[in-house]
Structure 1
Amino acid sequence: MRSARLTGAGLVRSGGPGAAGEPLLLVAHGSRDPRAAEATRALARAVAAARPGTPVLASWLDHTEPGPTEALRGLAAAGHSGVTLVPLLLTAAYHRRVDIPAAVAAAHQAGSPIRVRVTDVLGPVGTEADPALLAGLRRRLAEARPGRFDALVLAAAGTRDAGARGSVGRVAEALGAALGTRTRVSYASAAPPAVDVAVARLRAGGARRVAVAAYFLAPGLFHDAVMVAAGEAGAVAVAAPLTDAPELVDLVLRRVDAQPCAGG
């Protein structure tokens, strides 16, 4: 059973002791790989630094403590009357539609009186990919130093949700348009094509230098597998996950400052 204590769980306060401001709860997917949790904590620290006076807490849906229910209970016990929950998710699939509302409901059923406002996910809202998200992907791609490339694969974790895959496709289309490059999508699980297949198809179609942009928030087994498979297929570079990129911090805070989305 998860503990409701916040000690060591990633609560970050900026602005010194007694900083006032409604806390932010960042909720990540979670991974067995400890690098993923550390990436989420790094993002929480960066968000706190960008929003002085606001307590920022990281939590995870699986594998790492605290879970969002326990985090909400702990915040309520600490005297907070309200919190803004930010789903650190790139698509509005099962975790956003089911897991997060269930976690909030469980906290309320346990007697936590805290008011919870849930923001949109970090991926596209409606038909548009956020410029900050695209800028973060471009930053990580430039850091990978691929040099000149004539085709690009956007590698994502994968989902069986057709609507979520459509949102990944919109990001790929917008990123390709911004870079003036042919772009295809690949998935590490749940849906085809795999990244090596996508790279091979682009090379078979005449592309000589194919780069891979990583549509991941944190490192882990999926990103590791993408790096290996893409390299074996002849990709010239694979970008790192977004982690705590400044553009991602900006996107989180703009989700916080936007009007609340439906359903929490």
Structure 2
Amino acid sequence: MRPARVTPTDAGAVEVAAPVVLVAHGSRDPRAAEAIRALAGAVAAARPGTPVLPSWLDHTEPGPTAVLRGLAAAGHPRAVLVPLLLTAAYHRKVDIPAAVAAAREAGPTLDVRITDVLGPADGTVDGCLLAGLRQRLAAAEPGRFDALVLAAAGTRDPRARGSVGRVAAALGASLGVPTRVSYASAAPPAVGVAVAKLRARGATRVAVAAYFLAPGLFHDAVVADAHAAGAVAVAAPLTDVPALADLVLRRVDATG
């Protein structure tokens, strides 16, 4: 992992790395906010000297606009904003640019660079994302399994669903098992349906990988539905798994 960027100046001072602002979707479930704070802590621990601040688009304070305004008021000239999203759907396309624009409307100027989402960027599934999914699946202790379902939250955006499919294909290839996608909302199939189809095709031990950043009602529903359909194990959300913190920093570093 790269160290914090510290550049000598002709005055003998140092230029500290730009603060990193993490932006999550937000949830009424308090476990979700706890998970994002844990991820912020993991990122900060992996990059000493870099301020890492969590924010949420809904349900939890502070929002990204307030965090960015606070950084500008404190004299920071720039910041890097990381969308904690697994697909580049509505929130990345609309909500996050709007929050940055609102921060720029008032107060001191702040140069904000927005990174790619954590899901596939330009069609590429990052190895850190796959590593995180595999780590959580191993922690679920499914033992031997012969098929896999990647359970995601769901979206109506066909391009976003396509990116979930690419993750499922890459994960299945890395594990050497057939893999299907399922969604907790907005699109079929549900996880129970996906598990049942794999079992109907001859799979005897189907595991479920969770394409979620944080726990909440969707993941709870996936766990219940998957076990009812005969899945042998359901992984926990990614949360602060070390590979996810690495992925956040890879996104930060890619902004230059």
Partners of 1:230 and 1:38 lie apart in 2 by: 25
Matched letter for residue 97 of structure 2: P
Cα distance change on mapping 1:34 and 1:19 into 2, 3 Å = farther
Tell whether the 8 Å contact from 2:39 to 2:239 is kept in structure 1 after alignment: yes
Q: Equivalent residue for 1:244?
A: 240
Q: Percent of pairs identical after alignment?
A: 78
Matched letter for residue 42 of structure 1: A
Measured after TM superposition, the shift of residue 109 of structure 1 is: 1.4
Tell whether the 8 Å contact from 2:208 to 2:226 is kept in structure 1 after alignment: yes
Q: Equivalent residue for 2:179?
A: 183
Q: Equivalent residue for 1:209?
A: 205
Partners of 2:103 and 2:46 lie apart in 1 by: 28
Q: Equivalent residue for 1:48?
A: 44
TM-score (norm: length of structure 2)? 0.93
Q: Equivalent residue for 1:166?
A: 162
Partner-residue secondary structure (3-state), 1:141: helix
User: Are 2:195 and 1:199 equivalent residues in the alignment?
Assistant: yes
Partners of 1:233 and 1:29 lie apart in 2 by: 29
* 1:37-186 equivalent positions in 2, closer than 5 A: 37-186=33-182
Partners of 1:131 and 1:73 lie apart in 2 by: 34
Matched letter for residue 23 of structure 1: P
Tell whether the 8 Å contact from 1:19 to 1:53 is kept in structure 2 after alignment: no
Tell whether the 8 Å contact from 2:37 to 2:54 is kept in structure 1 after alignment: yes
Q: Equivalent residue for 2:5?
A: none
Partners of 1:226 and 1:26 lie apart in 2 by: 26
Partner-residue secondary structure (3-state), 1:123: coil
Partner-residue secondary structure (3-state), 1:235: coil
Q: Please, what is the CA RMSD of the aligned residues?
A: 1.2
Gaps of 5+ in 1: 1-17
Q: Equivalent residue for 2:217?
A: 221
Tell whether the 8 Å contact from 1:19 to 1:54 is kept in structure 2 after alignment: no
Measured after TM superposition, the shift of residue 178 of structure 1 is: 0.4
Partners of 1:119 and 1:218 lie apart in 2 by: 20
Tell whether the 8 Å contact from 1:72 to 1:112 is kept in structure 2 after alignment: no
* Superposed CA offset, 1:96-146 (max 9, x none): 000000000111113341110000000001222111100100000000000
Partners of 2:106 and 2:216 lie apart in 1 by: 33
TM-score (norm: length of structure 1)? 0.90
Partners of 2:145 and 2:28 lie apart in 1 by: 34
Matched letter for residue 223 of structure 1: H
Partners of 1:139 and 1:118 lie apart in 2 by: 27
Partners of 2:44 and 2:174 lie apart in 1 by: 30
Tell whether the 8 Å contact from 1:151 to 1:202 is kept in structure 2 after alignment: yes
User: Are 2:47 and 1:20 equivalent residues in the alignment?
Assistant: no
Partners of 1:87 and 1:176 lie apart in 2 by: 25
Tell whether the 8 Å contact from 1:159 to 1:191 is kept in structure 2 after alignment: yes
Tell whether the 8 Å contact from 1:19 to 1:55 is kept in structure 2 after alignment: no
Count of equivalent residues: 243
Gaps of 5+ in 2: 1-13
Partners of 1:85 and 1:77 lie apart in 2 by: 17
Tell whether the 8 Å contact from 2:72 to 2:107 is kept in structure 1 after alignment: no
